[in-house]
Structure 1
Amino acid sequence: MNSPGRRYADRPELAPLWQAAHHRLSAGRPVSRLRVGPLTPEGRSALADLLGLDRLPDAYTSVDLARLDTALLEICGHGVRAVVADIVGPLGDRAAEREAERTRRADLWAWLDAHPTVTAQPALAAWTAQLRRTGLIAGSVDRTRESLEQALRTLAALPAQGEPLPVFATAVLSDSHALDDGTRLSSLVLRALATLHETPAPESAADRRALWGRAGIADDALSTTVLTAGFHPSGSGPLARALTAYSEAGHAAHLTLAQLRTPGDLRFPAQHVHITENPSILALALSRFGPSCPPMVCTSGWPNSAAMLLLRHLAAADCHLHYHGDLDGEGLRIAAHILAKTPAKPWRMTTADYLTALRSAERGPDPGRITEAPWDQELAGALREAGASVVEERVAEVLLGDLAVHVRNRIRR
């Protein structure tokens, strides 16, 4: 736009007018009047000339947009929007930008809530809700999503196999310092782990080390063990021979993380393996079946890195994994964790199993904080309504009955 009218309008004394018009017209909302000022005496005179006023306006004045539009059309043949865009710059649409930003934020939180790592472990819903309340990192959707993607990638790779934190961070995030103490990513992951384990957010370095330890970071390879029974692996190495000898004698065996890291020629046949949360169930099975005890693994609560490594070895051998744990709030979270991290299937952990157990024995303790059970959409609601736990020991006879079927089938073969 290069015309005498445009040059007339683009005078320094009218700059407050065009700045005010640009700001209001970029709001993305209907505009009928502009508040302009402060105007210099020269600006007041120029505005009066532009609008054909019979008196000088005040230093702060209100301008009718329609009148300004008409005046500009007469002077240069272009309306106010075109003139303002030419003098000041392209007009924006702040309302549309705000709406687009709200949509991007909503999409971010919806993506987080629906992420497979979160849906597989519903206890993490409390973590995502906390993140939503905290808000965006530096006000940026992109920076927040990048950090969350790294946190979710880390959570998906946990529990680790006892490696130091820098080694784990290098393997998962290609950066040995990504999870260093004090980093934003480390805080995000630790808050998620605290939510999963229903513990307070770690405040000291010792608390943080303990929480990383529960996630399999830097575990002691000798003292970290998993309890087993009934395995008869093939192979001539010392671990295979020892496991077979213990099973043939009707004894349990503790496998260390170090042994499972270097299993030698330990080879598991494809078979059904039953996993329990509590050692008492494995002890009862050994007492009843002795040397005929079917293959069993006990996690002793939340599985440590040795337990998870063994389950991964068994899954790689095409074993069918069946998991049972306490039917209470903590038990649901442990079960969801194991089912999310391994191919294990729930064993006697349906709503029907829970209600049957409630009817057959005295009322159990309060189940504590309950989160959803991904394998059975009604189970958490049933626990909330009944307000009672069913620990494994209460259904021991049912579990042993299932194991007896596998024992008979193995004998027939």
Structure 2
Amino acid sequence: MSERLERLLGGPETSWLVERVRRRLERGRSPSGPVTLSAATAEQRRAIERLLGRRAGIGSSLSVSLDEVDRVLRSSGACPEGLAAAVVLLRGPVRNLEQENALRDEAWREAFAELDAVLAHRPELSGWRSWLEVTGLVRRSAGDPDEARILLDKMAVLLPQLPHPSIPIGRLAAEIYRDAHALDEGKPLAALALSAARSLSGLPYAGDGTADARRKAWAAVGVHLDDLSSYVLCLGLPGDDDTPTGRMLVAAQAAGEPCLLTLRQLHRHESPIRAGLVRICENPVVVAAAADEFGPRCPPVVCTRGRPSAAVWRLLDLLAAGGSEFAYHGDFDWGGIGIANAVRERVGWRPWRYDALAYEAAISSARALSATPLSGRPHATPWDSELSAAMARRAVRVEEEMVLGELLTDLAAESGNDGTLP
């Protein structure tokens, strides 16, 4: 580098000009056109005058033509190759930010490759994948593409296992990763996996962060954090005198009181439960009202409490093994339809006022006037194709509480649990 170039552009008074040109070159722009420095000092103005060999204007701001600077450097011999070459001589090689960004973007795409291959067969997770992109959750958690690839490859192995019939989270982690603590709270993989579980459950991708919300999200995909945090609410189920759980059911039925069974209890109860026709509802208010209304006379009812937990699945499996048949009712919203489909695939059921006729009747009643608009992703209703069409057309959500009177009427009409559906 020549002494003349150092004298003209190498001092602190012209560093702003060199930096402006360097940033332009990094972004692939040519070093031409004007640049302006507001509130220029007297020393900065005199340095530009020495560079150009003329007065640099008046006022507080200082405007410089880069084309003129380039000509001066070439003609004076300070840098015959021009302004761009002068910046390299003064500051070193110029980064190619466009190329760097392209390479970085490609690296991030490759980091998602294994996960995207799995998601290609899981359309129900497409919204979650877009959410990851929009929120930048993976980039914040991983930091760089190499670390992200490791994290996302682990997710690609996990997702085919969800939803799971029923498994403790530690066992799931041990079977997949050979590390029982891989999905422990506080780890980046756990946060990512929990958001996927929420997506599969129809819940918001980002929850409220409480331990209870985390338990419910995992339970909805068949993963329980422990045998005691997963439980099922039931009423009127017959028991037996030979097992602890059977004796609990006998006592609860005799008292006409709802019963909470934990997954631990149900895992230890190996014999089928024979109950005939069992009605399944989605909301605890139905169970509470039935207990108040009928007490010990109430026919068997099982409540999913939203997305079924591992305990709900275990109880339904025990009932199915005992030959029980099921009648189902839930909320008339897309989340409720998703739950109904999951239960139907698992144990099968007949609709309990859960078809297009019942939906139309519900929204026509005066009590449904306060119903909220229907939202979410539509689901098919294979037990009655007209139901999904009616819900899409009406776009009104009807919660189970709005038809509580009709449900209680059905329970009252049922005599001896003979399997007759009103």
TM-score, scaled relative to structure 2: 0.56
| TM-aligned CA distance change 1:336 to 1:178, over 3 Å | farther
Asked if 1:168 is matched to 2:149, the reply is: no
Q: How does 1:314-353 map to 2 (within 5 A)?
A: 314-344=319-349, 346-353=351-358
Q: What CA deviation, in whole Å up to 9, does each residue of 1:263-321 have, x standing for no partner?
A: 26x54116221111112212332344332211111122333333232223223333223
Is 1:189–2:176 an aligned residue pair?
no
Matched, 1:295 2:300: yes
Whichever residue aligns with residue 160 of structure 2, its letter is R
Q: 1:324: how far off?
A: 1.5
CA distance in structure 2 between the partners assigned to 1:345 and 1:132 by the alignment: 41
CA contact (8 A) 2:224 2:230 kept: no
Q: Deviations over 1:305-350 (max 9, x none)?
A: 3323222322333322333211124433433444455545553322
* Secondary structure of the corresponding residue to residue 354 of structure 1: helix
Offset from partner CA, 1:177-226 (integer Å, 9 cap, x none): 664668886555323223234324369xx568943553135545445432
Q: Which residue number corresponds to residue 394 of structure 1?
A: 402
The answer for the alignment partner of 2:273 in structure 1 is 268
Taking only aligned residues, the RMSD between alpha carbons, in angstroms, comes to: 4.4
Shift of 1:411: 10
Deviation at 1:113, TM superposition (A): 5.8
Equivalent residues in 2 for 1:222-237, closer than 5 Å: 222=228, 224-237=230-243
Which one of 207, 210, 214 corresponds to residue 211 of structure 1?
Answer: 214
Cα distance in 2 for partners of 1:317, 1:411 equals 15
Q: Kindly state the Cα deviation for residue 254 of structure 1 after the two structures are TM-superposed.
A: 1.8
Does the 8 Å contact 1:151/1:188 carry over to 2?
A: no
One-letter identity of the residue aligned with 1:189? A
Change over 3 Å in CA distance of 1:292–1:182 after alignment to 2: closer
**Aligned match of 1:282 in 284, 287, 301?**
287
Residue 229 of structure 1: how far off its partner (Å)? 1.0
Q: How does 1:39-78 map to 2 (within 5 A)?
A: none
Q: Please give the per-residue CA displacement for 1:34-60, whole angstroms capped at 9, x wherever unaligned.
A: xxxxxxxxxxxxxxxxxxxxxxxxxxx
Which has the bigger relative contact order, CA under 8 A and spacing at least 6?
1
**Is 1:154–2:161 an aligned residue pair?**
yes
Query: How do 1:17-32 and structure 2 match up within 5 A?
Result: none
Bigger shift: residues 300-309 or 243-252:
300-309
Q: CA deviation at 1:130?
A: 5.1
CA distance in 1: counterparts of 2:256 and 2:356, whole angstroms: 34
**Structure 1 Cα separation of the partners of residues 213 and 157 of structure 2:** 21
Contact 1:275 1:296 in 2 (8 A): yes
Number of residue equivalences? 297
Give the whole-Å Cα distance in 1 for the aligned partners of 2:126 and 2:410.
Answer: 34
Aligned partners of 1:237 and 1:260: how far apart in 2?
Answer: 11
User: 2:276·2:417 contact (CA, 8 Å) conserved in 1?
Assistant: no
- 8 Å CA contact 1:153, 1:172 repeated in 2: no
Report if the CA contact (8 A) 2:194-2:218 is conserved. no
Is the 2:266–2:314 contact (alpha carbons within 8 Å) kept by the matching residues of 1? yes
Secondary structure, aligned partner of 1:373: coil
Alignment counterpart, residue 258 of structure 2, candidates 236, 247, 252: 252
SS at structure 1 position matched to 2:247: helix
Deviation at residue 386 of structure 1 after TM alignment:
2.4
Q: 1:207 to 1:255 in 2, by over 3 A?
A: closer
Report sequence identity in percent. 31
Query: 1:309 aligns to what?
Result: 314
Q: Which runs of 5+ in 2 are unaligned?
A: 1-112, 139-144
Change (3 A) 1:283 1:183: closer
Deviation, 1:247, is 1.0
Q: Does the 8 Å contact 2:380/2:388 carry over to 1?
A: no
Structure 2 residue aligned with 1:241: 247
